């Protein structure tokens, strides 16, 4: 006979979103059951953010050795001990893993069940030999790599982000399907580590990003030797004696690309297929569970967060968790504001964006204008040899910050200030009292904000007032 559990909240999924909900509820003494059949920590810890950024960090060190002569230091082609690199990536994961472990959450008072969950009806979930009838359910099942329907791909050895970091050698020539964030991050890192890299995408690279900022990133990647085929259809894939062959076609005609290894980075697919959402009356589509702005599903007892609800980032998953908790625990309204969620692509250079882009502002924000400043205006950028970068601030009526985009080194760190401004509806006038430390890249944003008001210095009435005030000593 199945054991019946009646917690206040049942969380399905032990990734970033699910763990945030479980930990937050447990902190207030709320009974929580967490169901996770896979590795605790989800994609971010085990296959995504953590290992990818550890790899990018290694690539940055390799590139510094290669370019040291620019700073008067003997340069060399770096020698990569890929087995050691892989071990370091694993050690970083292992250092963070205890924070996300079943043992820690058990100590917080969460009952962790390592089983696959499925809905039995609109208020019951089965997990192994347990039946869970909670007051509220939170679906946080995450996503997995999407595999495109390319003829021959299923019979061809390929890597995804779930297997890439277990590779014990550096690919000789890495082929990458997908010129989005994951594809270009990994392509750029492997190129800096010394591999030849070719990227193929059926659309434009970094589609959906500000074109001017994206161009800076793509120019930087190409300058480091990465080959990029945009708007190119892959007709088939096959294994050869020496590696992988892709049969491609673009406006110039058909052509072939050969490499040693293949990485598929063509987007994500949700993991909710085994939940039997229909049994609970939960509407869903192939891309995500359907939710309202409050993240509640068509079943009023059930919320969906993170990748399951169409979220793209770990920090967005944490934001979702907060919105859901304030509704479940405190009966306070919670509505997602997608424009306040920043996004960062950790290429070299980086690309960061929050709020409206210049193009979106032209369509939806009457009277909006864009303030821009090149990195060359920054003394710190010059001392550090950062030769190209750009910040764009989208400004609405009365100087309100509607969005910001940055392409350049350190963009991911700098965007935080502008995310704060967008979330709190600040104006550029607030930045007049903000003192940026010198010399730092953060000054670029301050300088851009000041430039918005620079036309005031040429205002005839203002100049007349200043001349008048000078008469008083």
Binding-site annotation, residues for FAD: 53, 141-143, 307
The β-bridge partners of 169 are none
Q: Which two tokens stand for residue 303?
A: 């919320």
Q: Is 41 left (phi over 0), alpha (psi -120 to 50) or beta?
A: left
Please, are residues 243 and 260 in contact by the beta-carbon 8 Å criterion? yes
CA nearest neighbour of 319 among 340, 299, 333 = 340
Q: How far is CA 268 from the centre of its chain?
A: 12
Q: For residues 132 and 382, what is the distance between their CA atoms, to the nearest angstrom? A: 60
Q: Which two tokens stand for residue 44?
A: 């971010």
Which class for 340: exposed (0-12), middle (13-18), buried (19 or more C-beta within 10 A)? middle
Q: Which two tokens stand for residue 336?
A: 């997602």
Binding site for NAD(+), by residue number, is: 178-185, 267
For residue 217, which phi and psi values (nearest 5 degrees)?
-65, -45
Binding site, by residue number, is: 53, 141-143, 178-185, 267, 307
Residues in the chain: 473
CA nearest neighbour of 237 among 210, 211, 257, 209 = 257
Do you find a cis peptide bond into 398, omega within 30 degrees of 0?
Answer: no
Torsion sign across C-alpha atoms 126, 129, 135, 138: negative
Q: Which two tokens stand for residue 85?
A: 């690199």
């Amino acid at each position: 006979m199945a054991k019946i559990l009646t917690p206040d909240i049942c969380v399905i999924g032990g990734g970033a979103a699910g763990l945030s909900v479980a930990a937050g509820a447990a902190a207030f003494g709320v009974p929580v059951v967490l169901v996770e059949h896979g590795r605790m920590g989800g994609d971010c810890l085990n296959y995504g953010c953590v290992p990818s950024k550890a790899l990018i960090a290694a690539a940055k060190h390799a590139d510094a050795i290669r370019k040291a002569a620019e700073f008067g230091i003997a340069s060399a082609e770096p020698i990569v001990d890929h087995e050691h690199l892989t071990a370091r990536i694993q050690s970083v994961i292992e250092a963070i893993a205890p924070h996300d472990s079943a043992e820690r959450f058990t100590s917080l008072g969460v009952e962790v069940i390592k089983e696959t969950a499925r809905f039995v009806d609109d208020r019951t979930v089965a997990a192994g030999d347990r039946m869970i009838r909670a007051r509220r359910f939170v679906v946080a099942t995450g996503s997995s790599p999407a595999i495109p329907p390319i003829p021959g791909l299923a019979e061809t050895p390929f890597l995804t982000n779930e297997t890439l970091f277990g590779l014990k050698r550096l690919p000789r020539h890495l082929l990458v399907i997908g010129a989005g964030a994951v594809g270009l991050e990994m392509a750029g890192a492997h190129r800096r580590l010394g591999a030849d890299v070719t990227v193929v995408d059926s659309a434009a690279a970094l589609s959906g990003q500000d074109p001017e900022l994206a161009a800076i990133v793509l120019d930087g990647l190409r300058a480091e030797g990465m080959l990029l085929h945009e708007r190119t259809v892959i007709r088939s894939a096959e294994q050869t004696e020496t590696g992988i062959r892709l049969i491609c076609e673009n406006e110039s005609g058909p052509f072939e690309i050969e490499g040693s290894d293949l990485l598929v980075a063509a987007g994500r697919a949700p993991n909710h297929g085994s939940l039997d959402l229909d049994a609970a009356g939960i509407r869903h589509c192939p891309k995500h569970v359907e939710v309202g702005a409050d993240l509640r599903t068509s079943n009023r007892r059930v919320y969906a967060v993170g990748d399951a609800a169409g979220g793209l980032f770990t920090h967005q998953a944490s934001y979702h968790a907060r919105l859901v908790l304030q509704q479940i625990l405190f009966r306070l309204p919670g509505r997602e504001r997608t424009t306040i969620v920043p996004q960062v692509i950790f290429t070299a250079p980086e690309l960061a964006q929050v709020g409206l882009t210049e193009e979106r502002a032209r369509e939806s924000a009457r009277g909006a204008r864009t303030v821009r400043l090149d990195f060359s205006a920054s003394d710190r950028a010059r001392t550090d040899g950062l030769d190209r970068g750009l910040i764009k601030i989208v400004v609405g009526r009365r100087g309100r910050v509607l969005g910001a985009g940055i392409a350049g080194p350190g963009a991911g760190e700098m965007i935080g200030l502008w995310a704060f401004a967008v979330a709190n509806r600040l104006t550029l006038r607030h930045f007049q009292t903000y003192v940026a430390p010198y010399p730092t890249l953060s000054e670029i944003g301050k300088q851009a904000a000041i430039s918005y008001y620079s036309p005031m210095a040429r205002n005839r009435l203002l100049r007349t007032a200043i001349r008048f005030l000078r008469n008083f000593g």
